[in-house]
Amino acid sequence: MNLNDVWFLLIAVLWAGYFLLEGFDFGVGVLLPVLGRSETQRRVLLNTIGPVWDGNEVWLIVAAGATFAAFPEWYATLFSGFYLPLLLILVALILRGVAFEYRGKVDSDRWRRNWDRAIVFGSLVPAVLWGVAFGNIVRGVALNADHHNVGGFVDLLNPYALLGGLTTLLLFVTHGAVFLALKTTGPIRASARAVAGGVGIAAVAAAGGFLAWTQILRGDAITAGTAVVAAATLVAALIANRAGREGWAFLATAVTVLAATATLFLALYPNVLPSTLDPAYSLTTTNAASSPYTLRIMTWVAVAFTPVVLLYQGWTYWVFRKRIGVQHIPPATSAPPPAGAARP
């Protein structure tokens, strides 16, 4: 295996880690108005991901940076051809991060409701558009001989990619609901289990159809195996969730996300962006890669710093591993106005 293949594998691992960790973040955000019937319950939901959501987004930054450094032509073609959906994802993620920080700054129900809407929007849009984007990456786009995408935005809204967007949305919501059942107590835990069971059935249907279509499009014996693992573990997650075994259910949905991501990257390889005009125009791990010297330097950097990042993030999850409920949320208080300030 040469360094081109090694870095394709590492980028696949980074995206799988991102979807695994940020996936339940997105699910929690989408479920905020569904499971958060009161301000205290919404604070419980947000506190389950509060210590980890920004660390989870590091996986996206590293994945994008690794793509830029290891496969610059893939990065350039991808970000120019997918400009509008990726811009929408970026805006949604920025708005979501601001909402997490700002919703508690003013003691106003209207203020908090507006920022809660921003959290839902900032979670829903990426959950859908990442599936659409990766559906198009696997399916291929209209690359010409110069590796320029000559297709338009409407071309990205094809049935296969739209099914991919529906699949990631339902899968992330199921993953997030199972995470909430694992991390909370009382009525929220019971409601999260009910939501996971209901949405999970729809996720099984969507994911089964999308992975089967992927297998027909670009699959082989290996992708068939990973697709079966993804489907089987998702069904196992629903069974464990129904039995009240949230830890096993979350482990199963985690394996589902990893196996589904592996299926997409295995179906893509050795291409990194196929051409629908002519297979000879496709970007591959060979013609899109950086120089061998660049890849060697990147490899040493990855070997040195990746264990540090993994240990730190693992420690964060261990520290905040316990369940929380409404009894752990202190009453909301607002800071008194400065002396002499007029009250509104």
3-class SS string, 118-144: HHHHHHHHHHHHHHHHHHHHHHCECEC
In the predicted structure, residue 341 carries a pLDDT above the cut 50: no
Residue ranges per structural domain of the chain:
3-326
Structure tokens of 148?
């320029």
Task: Using CB atoms within 10 Å of the CB of residue 234, give its burial: 0 to 12 exposed, 13 to 18 middle, 19+ buried.
Answer: buried
15-67 per-position pLDDT tens digit? 999 999 999 999 999 999 999 989 999 999 999 998 899 889 999 999 999 99
How far is residue 192's CA from residue 31's CA, in Å, rounded to a whole number? 9
State the Cα–Cα distance between residues 324 and 301, nearest whole angstrom: 38
pLDDT of residue 133: 94
Is the CB of residue 281 less than 8 Å from the CB of residue 213?
Answer: no
Q: Is the pLDDT of residue 214 over 80?
A: yes
CA distances from 49 to 86, 156, 201, 278 (A): 24, 32, 24, 45
The SS3 of residue 34 is helix
The one-letter code for the residue type at 248 is W
pLDDT at position 332 is: 64
336: which 2 tokens? 């008194």
- The whole-model pTM stands at 0.92
DSSP 338: P
Give the pLDDT mean for 130-138.
95
Mean pLDDT of 239-246: 94
What does the mean pLDDT of the chain come to? 91
Q: What is the pLDDT of residue 330?
A: 82
CA dist., res. 21 & res. 27, Å (int): 10
Nearest to 122 by CA among 150, 149, 99: 99
Q: Measured at the alpha carbon of residue 293, what is the angle toward residues 292 and 296, in degrees to the nearest 5?
A: 85
